[in-house]
Amino acid sequence: MFRFNHFNFNVMDLERSLKFYHEALGLKPIREKNAADGSYKLVFLGDGESDFSLELTWLKGRDKPYDLGEGEFHLAFTVEDMDAAHAKHQALGCICFENPAMGVYFIEDPDGYWIEIVRKK
């Protein structure tokens, strides 16, 4: 039996991304791995509820944004209080797309990754 474990986003500025994920989604580092030669750093973020984690990968010397293809992939989070979440993300200025008919909206992280916010059923 296979179970979800983690998902990865490569990021340009690790500290900026850590701040974003903490402020926007309440995620906190749960473990990290540093290359002995300083060439990369991995930080795994957790929500404190599930075993699933988001891995942020920083690569030393990376100086151009990552190619996100056509931007059709995304990560999704559920939230119980959609109105409060929307107000928080609106105040942070990170909402990039809304679909009221479907009852979802998307926020964008500092590297351009989209994150879907869905009401918990």
Residues annotated catalytic, as ranges: 116
Give me 85's structure tokens: 């979440």
> What distance lies between CA 66 and its chain's CA centroid?
15
Do residues 114 and 67 make contact, with C-beta atoms less than 8 angstroms apart? no
DSSP state of 48: S
Q: Name the residue among 18, 109, 30 with its Cα closest to residue 58.
A: 18
First to last CA, the chain: 26
